[in-house]
Amino acid sequence: MPSTAPSAPVPQGEHEPRPDPQALTSNPDPSQNAPTDVDYTPHPESSLKVPPEREAIVKAITNLYSGSANKEDMEVYAEKAVYDDPWSFCDTRYKIAGQWYGIPKLFTSSRTLATEIVLSSPDTLSWKQTQEYTPKLLHYSKPVDSLVTCTLDAEGKVIYHKDQWNHKDYSHKGLGKVMKTMNGDYLTGVTRPPKDL
């Protein structure tokens, strides 16, 4: 049975990607950058060419962002994978599923409008992404640009998934980290993903 117990501390630096947003995303035309010298808007024509197995990772994860909420796409993650974004910190695949299975419950639609792969190394895959969210209660669509970076294990499974919405990395300290961890630990009780993930 998957654990929903509170998260144990994850040693910082172990598997956590630390991308350099300016180096990975800065546009040669400064007018296209945010004031922080990042450009998270994808330019698909500039996307790096990657092997099919890397394309499959991006496809599975963008499917999840788009509300697929299925076990096949969840298999991209290792069992003890970490998911880390501005709102949540999850330290198992089951807790990660709690986030993805919530998408159809919260949004009328969630669409990946574009991606651009900006880094593909032996253990890291990064891409820029534009996701358009339409909340059920508000009935308007909002696109969100972000930098997604995944650390991969020897089998090509995602062991750390970081989603950054601005140039700042996460400190894993203070009240913000407490709230993120609580969200990751207990959302499965609301979204109820399959127990056998």
pLDDT at 106 over 60: yes
pLDDT at 64 over 80: yes
The mean predicted confidence, pLDDT, of the chain is: 86
Please report the pLDDT score of residue 171 as a whole number: 62
Please report the pLDDT score of residue 15 as a whole number: 83
Min mean pLDDT across 118-127, 131-140, 178-187 is at 178-187
pLDDT at 197 over 70: yes
pTM of the model: 0.84
Question: What letters, b where the CB count within 10 A reaches 16 and e where it falls short, cover 173-197?
Answer: eeeeeeebbebbbebbeebebeeeb
Three-class secondary structure of residue 67 per DSSP: coil
* Residue from 84, 66, 85, 63 nearest 74 by CA: 63
- Residue 47: pLDDT band by 50, 70, 90 thresholds? very high
- Residue 7: pLDDT band by 50, 70, 90 thresholds? very low
**Angle at alpha carbon of residue 100, lines to 96 and 106, rounded to 5°:** 135
